[in-house]
Amino acid sequence: MPITGLTRGGTSYVPEFLLAIDAAKCIGCGRCYKVCARGVLTLKGITDEDELVDLEDEDDEDEIERKVMVIADGDDCIGCGACARVCPSGCQSHGPVEAL
């Protein structure tokens, strides 16, 4: 049974939570990061060997080919969908989550 929520008017709905980000489609623009008030996302670098690295690691700075968004704390997602609405590349997957 999926998790359900209520609107302010009392109508029930099924939230669509962030499930995954396709690194091949992500352009690393950071728009989703900026609209997420829950700290669900973080920006990482991808090296020429396709490894994810933290951007704070100065040793890897020369090896970073491009930047991509990744899920830092998916458990904090509230299913608001703001990240999907601002994403220009459509790289995110959203869906309902089963109740525990």
Res 62: pLDDT = 67
pTM: 0.86
Q: For the residues 46-61, what does the mean pLDDT come to?
A: 79
How far apart CA 52 and CA 36 sit, in angstroms, is 21
Residue 4 corresponds to which amino acid? T
Class of domain 21-90: alpha beta
Q: How many residues does the chain have?
A: 100
Q: Over the stretch 9-33, which tens digit does the pLDDT of each residue have?
A: 999 999 999 999 999 999 999 999 9
Domain ranges of the chain: 21-90
Q: Evaluate whether 95 touches 17 at the Cβ level (below 8 Å).
A: yes
Res 59: pLDDT = 64
